[in-house]
Structure 1
Amino acid sequence: MMRIATWLSVLVPAVALAGCTLTPAEKARIEQRAETEKADLDKALRGLTSGSPTQCISQYRTQQVRSYGPTIVYTVSPNLKYVSQTSGGCDGVGGQGNNIFVTRTTTGQLCSGDIAQTVDRASGFFTGSCSFGEFTPYRKAR
């Protein structure tokens, strides 16, 4: 009986670790996706200058929300966008993604540390969650 327990204590972590390894093709796909998201984010913020971060933003003024990997961009207008680095897990919002944000707030504001969930637009199933970081404004230079 003791030998089985010892064997399992070695086998279970080994199997779990083996499941965490990626093939070279999977690594390349993930790296390509990250490069594409960075290029898309750079394009979305082109011509805008970053300002001092703020803890909260009004969610009612937002016209569009889109994720670029762990980065969320709230568009207020073509001249003002807020960028928040999240803890990750809120991919596929806006753009070509099929997810939508679900946030719960009683103040009408989104704040650093708030948690958002993503929901598949078609099925209504939860697909992820993340925590917001500070919101950095990006404005067109005058």
Structure 2
Amino acid sequence: MRKALISFALSAAAGAAAITAASAADKPRNSQQRLEERLQKELAQLKPQAPVECIGTRFRNISLTAIGNKLIYRESRNKIYVSDTTGGCENVARGDVLVTRQFGTRLCRGDIATTMDRVGRFYTGSCAIGTFTPYTKG
């Protein structure tokens, strides 16, 4: 009887650990899906314009977020640039810093960007910036 209770307790603990691990694995995917849905909702209210090769970064307050292989530059509530990258800069979504090497005051297609861990200051990836699709109000 005692052995049966111990084996039952161990199997219950293992099952709980498996459920916890499975739900922890689903969280990043779910948060990623929520970000994608929020971006699609924002972009649905804006009109896409013709893609541009470069965006100016001087004297602009541009915020950056990443969703998958896309880098989203928010200039304002009414103007968003979306750039598809070659992949490798996804760690920006988890809080890494995007380091770009610009020549001048513009960020252009083909520029190389690297991601760096905020705390450890080690490189975590790199990608090439793609064309920028502007989305504007009206």
User: What TM-score results when the alignment is normalised by the length of structure 1?
Assistant: 0.69
The answer to whether the 8 Å contact 1:40/1:68 transfers is: no
| Partners of 1:37 and 1:69 within 8 A in 2 | no
| Structure 1 residues 14-93: aligned runs within 5 Å | 35-60=33-58, 61-93=60-92
Aligned residues: 116
What percent identity do the matched residue pairs reach? 38
CA–CA distance in 1 between the matches of 2:96 and 2:41? 21
Instruction: Supply the AA of the counterpart residue of 1:41.
Output: L
- C-alpha distance in 2, partners of 1:65/1:71? 10
Bigger-Rg structure (1/2): 2
CA–CA separation in structure 1 for the residues paired with 2:120 and 2:44:
34
1:111–1:134 CA contact under 8 A, matched in 2: yes
Looking at secondary structure, tell me which structure has more helix per residue. Answer: 2
- Check if 1:126 corresponds to 2:123: yes
Counterpart check, 1:98 vs 2:95: yes
What residue is the counterpart of 1:15 in the other structure? none
Change (3 A) 1:30 1:88: farther
d(CA) in 1 for partners of 2:86 and 2:110?
10
What RMSD in Å do the two structures reach over aligned CA positions?
Answer: 2.5
**Which runs of 5 or more structure 1 residues have no equivalent in the other structure?**
1-24
1:31 and 1:123 map into 2 onto residues whose CA distance is: 25
Structure 2 regions of 5+ residues with no counterpart? 1-22
For 2:112, the equivalent position in structure 1 comes to 115
**Given the two structures, how large is their TM-score scaled by the length of structure 2?**
0.71
Report the Cα offset of residue 93 of structure 1. 2.1
